[in-house]
A and B are shown apart, each in its own frame.
Chain A
Amino acid sequence: MLPFSFEWVWDMGHVVFHGGLWYALSVIGLGMTYCIIKTVLDLKKGDAGHHH
């Protein structure tokens, strides 16, 4: 649920529950986005990483 949903109420329950959910989803989403972008940039630079 997002704050623009008609069911949303600005109270502690909604903020804590959904804040935790969005925090976790953000870390997962941003983390994976970072990995994918870094991989593409590494490959463009010609670093396939097989020397590791």
Chain B
Amino acid sequence: MDSALIPKGVKRCPTWQFLLWIGIVGAVLLWGVYAMLLCWIKGLNQTNMNDYYGFALWIWADLAVIALGGGAFFTGFLRYVVGKDELKNIINYAVLIGFICYSSALLILAIDVGQPLRSWYIFWHANVHSMLTEVAFCLSCYFGVLCIEYIPLVLENRQLDRVPFFHRLGHNMHEIMAIFAATGAFLSFFHQGSLGGVAGVMFGRPFAFREHLLVWPYTFFLFTWSAAACGPCFTLLITHITEAITGKRLVKDNVKDLLGKISGWMLGTYIIAKIIDTWYWAAVTAPSKGFTLMEFYSDNAFYGIWILVTEIVICGVLPAVILMIGPLRRNRPLFLSAIILACIGVCLNRWVMVLQIMAAPVMPFDNWALYLPSWQEVATTILPVAYGIILIMISYRYMPVFPQEQELNPVVE
């Protein structure tokens, strides 16, 4: 039925099967949309946030998808600015995943502001003393860059490509993509960093506060670094999942190996910096504020020292070692384990820096503020996942996302 839209030389599942899966995932999407509308129409009383605990579950999801979507800016930087030509075979997918992650982040913020009609206030009545203003500026501008990077892929659709204007436009956009990619890297550096900076400048919360380099707390650099390290791992993980679902090889091993190796070194250097930062915070910063390390990890039912060990050792050191050492990296099960652990690690880091900060007591008379999200928070957090799956399904079906697909999976006529 839709065969005229499917790229030449590749095989796709029957239309009924495609529509069935769109329908199943679409039902989950509608559930999330219903919860989102409840938050907009009835207000943020639909969440379990309160005056003490001001970050909903979706703020963690927001920071996590921004970190995981970092694969787009870093892969784009490597491909267009550094000149790693092999990455042209995975850059489309990195851009698509980045587009999904950043549009999801903006959607989450639109829910979180409670009154989305006033979103433009942040640009016109900007508070220039807020790191979140910088995040909003860079996030929305970088989403514009991702749209520009995604448009040429859309224009390569078989039918759109037949229109001379679209064909030529896509070609011309490709020609100056390095400028857009460099702008994207600039914007990403600052918004990833500022998201970390938000935690690091909170001098009233010793669990979050870090020492500064000029005006930037160390968390500024750690957030950018971790996004550049783990974002490509997420791209590789989604590629692996797509290959498993479609039953095809879509990207050659040398491309995955290169991206995995670069991620490994980024992760390795990041985790060394993270260990130094954590040690200094535990030994100097927190005691100077009257806290010992174990006070942040005891007297509650959830946040034990396990979370620190898991984040740094199991989801940091371990995947970094696997990805940095060639023979380990080329072992497929180990490679897959490493990229999964890296993705879990960065999500765990964002959880700690968003939710544990809110939960940890500050005053001697405070208690741990553990909270359970409402179903509306859960549904709006799952909403971007369903949206992402649908957009990947549509893009994969109708656009030449993987340049090596035809070569790796020749269609027998």
Contacts and interface: CB of A to CB of B under 8 A. Distances in A.
A13 B133 CA distance: 11
Contacts of B183: 24, 27-28
Contact of B164 (A31, A32, A43): A43
Nearest to A30: B179
A7 to B, nearest CB: 6
B214 interface: no
A36 B168 contact: no
Contacts of B179: 27, 31
Interface string A30-52: 01101110111011000111101
Interface string B99-137: 000000000000000000000000111101100011001
Interface string B129-166: 10001100110010011001000000000000000110
How would you classify the secondary structure of chain B's contact residues: helix, strand, loop or mixed?
helix
A48 to B, nearest CB: 4
Contact of B133 (A17, A27, A31, A36): A17
Q: Which residue of A13, A28, A43, A50 has the most chain B CB atoms within 10 A of its CB atom?
A: A28
Contacts of A20: 134, 137-138, 190
Contacts of A40: 165
B371 interface: no
A41 B251 CA distance: 36
B171 interface: yes
A8 to B, nearest CB: 10
B372 to A, nearest CB: 37
A34 to B, nearest CB: 7
Chain B interface residue bracket vs A: 20 to 34
B187 interface: yes
A47 B186 CA distance: 34
B6 interface: no
B173 interface: yes
B60 interface: no
A22 to B, nearest CB: 10
A38 B165 CA distance: 10
A49 B141 contact: no
Given A20-B137, A48-B167, A49-B167, A13 B186 contact: no
Contacts of B125: 1, 7
B171 A52 contact: yes
A39 B165 contact: yes
Given A35-B176, A36-B169, A49-B171, A24 B123 contact: no
Contact of B172 (A7, A18, A38, A48): A38
A38 B183 CA distance: 21
B124 A47 contact: no
B266 to A, nearest CB: 24
A43 B123 contact: no
A34 B176 contact: yes
Contacts of A52: 171
B189 to A, nearest CB: 11
B164 A28 contact: no
Interface of B: 123-126, 128-129, 133-134, 137-138, 141, 144-145, 148, 164-165, 167-169, 171-173, 176, 179-180, 183, 186-187, 190
Given A1-B126, A20-B190, A49-B171, 20 more contacts: A1-B123, A1-B124, A16-B128, A17-B126, A17-B134, A17-B137, A18-B126, A20-B138, A24-B141, A27-B180, A28-B145, A28-B183, A34-B172, A35-B173, A35-B176, A39-B169, A42-B172, A43-B165, A48-B167, A50-B167
Interface of A: 1, 5, 7, 13-14, 16-18, 20-21, 24-25, 27-28, 31-32, 34-36, 38-40, 42-43, 47-50, 52
8 contacts: A1-B125, A13-B129, A20-B137, A24-B137, A27-B180, A39-B169, A43-B168, A50-B167
